[in-house]
Amino acid sequence: MQEEKEFIAQLLHPKTQDTAFRQLVEQYSRPLYSHIRTIVLDHDDADDVLQNTFIKVFRNLEGFKGESKLFSWIYRIATNEALTFISLKARKNHITNEEVNERALNSLQADDYFEGDALQLKLLQAVASLPQKQQLVFKMKYFEDLKYEDISEILGTSVGALKASYHHAVKKIEDYINNR
């Protein structure tokens, strides 16, 4: 924890801020991209949201109080940015958030960056049929293998509620896959 406090101090100090922020971007780019990609599905959209996330992180560094881990704080920003992106895209196109996700799913097969097969696509379709909170919990636990404690900090939900959401999500996904 002391190491994180020192890193945060470097992020906040004018003389070390640029180097520390480059280090932060290098450390978090790949996992954040994966996290964002599971939410927005589209590669180009994920890149845009990732850039917006780092901009927001940089602009709000001084407001980081250290009440949660830096990891959780950054992931919370990325999650909110991804969800906001979907909402804005839906509003711009006069459709629902679910329709945005459906369109993204439908275009995944043609996406050069999608490396999944038919089974992976079916799993993603099953996940997309879940309510948003269950989607987030399932994606963070199943695809990213995050601990419930970390997901709890990111989403601001109790561990017990997350476990219940994950259990319900798994059941619904199994039903979806077995009945299609």
DSSP states along 83-127:
HHHHHHHHHHTT--HHHHHHHHHHHHTT-TT----HHHHHHHHHH
Q: What does the alpha-carbon distance between residue 45 and residue 53 come to, in Å, rounded to a whole number?
A: 12
Q: How much is the pTM?
A: 0.86
pLDDT in tens, the chain (180 residues): 458 889 989 998 999 999 999 999 999 999 999 999 989 988 899 999 999 999 999 999 988 877 789 999 999 999 999 999 999 999 999 998 888 888 887 777 666 666 667 778 788 889 988 998 999 999 999 999 999 999 999 999 999 999 999 999 999 999 998 887
The reply to whether CATH 1.10.10.10 applies to domain 117-180 is yes
Give the H/E segment covering residue 41.
none
Q: What does the alpha-carbon distance between residue 58 and residue 12 come to, in Å, rounded to a whole number?
A: 10
Per-residue pLDDT at 107:
78
Class of domain 1-115: mainly alpha
Task: Check residue 58 and report its DSSP letter.
Answer: H
Parts of the chain belonging to CATH 1.10.10.10: 117-180
Token pair listed for 123: 């799993």
Parts of the chain belonging to CATH 1.10.1740.10: 1-115
Report which of 173, 108, 97, 105 is spatially closest to residue 134, judged by C-alpha positions: 173
